[in-house]
Structure 1
């Protein structure tokens, strides 16, 4: 695989299909198309990052692998939204979690008329994706102390847990997953899809900033950027749930009033716990235990959350701890004894993505009252779990009344104040900004085609009709597989 792309060099390309974005959705869609013999070019705005250059440092790797150097924020700067930039997208720097879409969520999407092949079809595509990625269950010896604490606390309270699959092989357990795997143990889309696709003739162009998609006569599009023009019969947008709606809005394609208005984020509220003994939460395989006792959406009910370990490097922990000065200093001095986890919310509130003049996304989002109640419930459950596992003290994600020293302190409802700048929330799962649906109330058809723009498709997390509730990597890849195969059937 030898992706091209140099700054300052103008390129003009012609292909039958142009795929924009090389993350979980775009890489899969491009691979399916190329391996079916369709002339395809894959464009990626970021670089191709060589794992041999990964140094394991949060400061240097965040700036390389993440959009805006890991500083992508909502418009009011109250919430960080982390997403990937580079060949492979977020699959390069995620923790390797491979969780299929929940059956109940798939059933709901089917009822909404969003799934072309129904719930069974999506679940089958997800199983195929997981097999192709080599997803396996972590061994007992790969469950680090941070994860064991979560399991022990859950067991003490009688809370249900699961051990999720991971797409890793021969992992050394260094714990640096979120800053890129230097040993190639994580089987991201570069290995699972793009290597074979490149052999089959897929052309890959990196550093390809795209500004617009234009009609270019009957049955053709032009994809344009500062140094690039691609003419294609069909275009597939897979630039992320933040960038895909921006491209649609800037290009004037699709039903503008429906695009970017249904953003879900999976808000993540972190909680740190101080233990007497060393935890060394940054060591070993992250996120090998999930607590699903509060995940009502798994049973077809509204709302709910998953409790899961959080990345625990010094930079991540410092970002999770609210406040400044003494509180953060004290937490960092106790870093070896900190366990870190958080509440991943199945959110219902709808945020919004607009296009800024400079082509970047402008995001407005904050949990509404229903979602705040879910976060409240999740933080309280996680705190009780940590105390049941032997924690001496908790650090909650609130700038006021951060420290809790006994379980009863979690029962005070006045402690849970969800306000911008007063509450530490983040997101790594933006989704749902160009959702699929059978009626004109959705901007994209169940086939993935943008309404009113024949030949223009979406194949990323923008397609989700609702929050999926679990890490979305597999769901994105499964939907991209289905969209691409439908396109293959149309073009051949």
Structure 2
């Protein structure tokens, strides 16, 4: 079947939906715009808040590993992309990081008004005292006892009921991700939303795509299942680091763009736990309110409050048998902290295709990232003990489960020499790079406005544009870059 449009946008996450929303007024003027999404269109009635069931929101059910299996990578495959199941954290790109990127025209002064407008659009707010659950309160207590600065995390929420299931989809749509804000805006203006539509290849102005049957319990799209050839005057790719990069690789762009797929960063993360003598019930209320950046500049990581559901918690501990039982029986007494390391953009860390044409992430943690994660565990341990915890769970310590008697030995107790690949649980939810911005095709894929080098009709508008790590949760930065890309699409 053949379709023809003026503009095709591939992907409905933070990047694609922002472009669709920005250009939606053109649809009212007769410009034909379609927003294609590989995943289903989940309505909020689908969000059962049952952990295993909600893995359907993720690509590969949230269990997509790096090529060596050492890191589990999570990102969305649904209308709304990863904004459907992230926590709502909304950081601005730090000014110093923006300058380090060195992208022509991309300055803090250019981004500031975009950030302000986008923050208003998605209702970014500072959490009030009513949103501080016991885990967050104890985190603040521990940090203050150690004279560490504690800062509020900015969140995109509207009327939060503090159910605590943010990472499984917000059943009330209080989290203002793209499925709640930009996608409805675009559709109301006349943009055609096509879920379950997987684009396989690009050839010139033509896309080859397959529309799959609508999964049970999800919203149907306007196109019937089948094979499609879709032509468009302009094309915007916004499938994220994996989706956009893999599509360009399958389409043969690597021959003219040798940087394609390279320089991927993942913001490697570990979640660590403290066992408190009193009930914490970190699963109640909003999970993520505070962070400290005290170690960002010199040691290369942030610490944020965090808490997850039983299956993920058990996986994060790296424990088995009686020790795992010991921890999980105290689930209601656990504190949680996530360590987010600033990794380096290396050419060897890359997206490539396997023998079946499926994307694969070849990624190896650098010595610097491993040291940052170890430092993060040492710092988190001290925060837990300062908050009154009896034991801590540190996945790559000499002894995973230990008490405050080890405090004086933390520097040696938690060491890179105990960091065992495939045994130390590392996760990522912040994929960046693969279609990086830059000056020319020798070392980048796109220019500073997201236009693919040598292809004036083809743009990228997602986190794959990042030339290096953003150091912070990338949601708002992706939207700001997509806002810039949208200006070039209509120019």
Shared fold, TM over 0.5: yes
The aligned residue for residue 346 of structure 1 is 342
Q: Which residue of structure 1 lines up, in the alignment, with residue 21 of structure 2?
A: 31
Choose the corresponding residue for 2:368, options 367, 370, 380.
Answer: 370
Q: How many angstroms apart in 2 are the aligned matches of 1:12 and 1:95? A: 39
Deviation string for 1:77-101 (max 9, x for gaps)? 2211000010001111111111111
| CA offset digits 1:36-75 (Å, max 9, x no partner) | 344211100000001012110111011x211101111111
Which of 300, 305, 317 in structure 2 is aligned with 1:304? Answer: 300
> 1: distance between equivalents of 2:457 and 2:307?
40
Correspondence for 2:41:
48
Which structure 2 residues correspond to residues 183-332 of structure 1 after superposition, within 5 A? 183-215=172-204, 220-225=205-210, 227-253=227-253, 255-296=256-297, 304-332=300-328
Residue 4 of structure 1 corresponds to which residue in structure 2?
A: none
Displacement of 1:454 in angstroms is: 2.3
Q: TM-score, normalised by structure 2?
A: 0.91
SS at match of 2:52: helix
What TM-score, normalized by structure 1, do the two folds share? 0.91
**Partners of 2:14 and 2:323 in 1: how far apart?**
38
- 2:141 aligned to which of 125, 144, 152: 152
Distance in 1 (alpha carbons) for counterparts of 2:257 and 2:26? 33
Partner SS state of residue 101, structure 1: coil
CA–CA distance in 2 between the matches of 1:26 and 1:311? 29
Q: Match of 2:184, SS?
A: helix
Cα offset, 1:117, TM superposition: 4.4
Aligned-partner Cα distance in 2 for 1:162–1:178? 22
Residues 103, 123 of structure 1: 8 Å contact kept: no
Deviation at 1:381, TM superposition (A): 1.0
Q: CA deviation at 1:400?
A: 5.1
Alignment of 1:94-133 (within 5 A): 94-109=86-101, 112=102, 114-133=103-122
Whether the 8 Å contact between 1:142 and 1:284 is mirrored in structure 2 is yes
Q: Judge conservation of contact 2:397–2:414 (CA < 8 Å) in 1.
A: no
Does the Cα contact within 8 Å between 1:273 and 1:386 map onto a contact in 2? yes
* 1:334 pairs with one of 320, 324, 330: 330
Q: 1:349 to 1:195 in 2, by over 3 A?
A: closer
Q: Which residue of 2 aligns with 1:7?
A: none
Matches within 5 A, 1:421-436: 421-436=422-437
Whole-Å separation in 2 of the counterparts to 1:376 and 1:167: 31
Deviations 1:325-346 (A, max 9, x none): 2222111101000001121011
Asked if 1 retains the 8 angstrom alpha-carbon contact of 2:199 and 2:207, the reply is: no
Matched, 1:72 2:74: no
Using the TM superposition, give the Cα deviation of residue 414 of structure 1 relative to its aligned residue in structure 2, in angstroms: 6.0
CA distance in structure 1 between the partners assigned to 2:282 and 2:65 by the alignment? 26
Counterpart for residue 383 of structure 2: 385
C-alpha separation in 1, matches of 2:291 and 2:228: 44
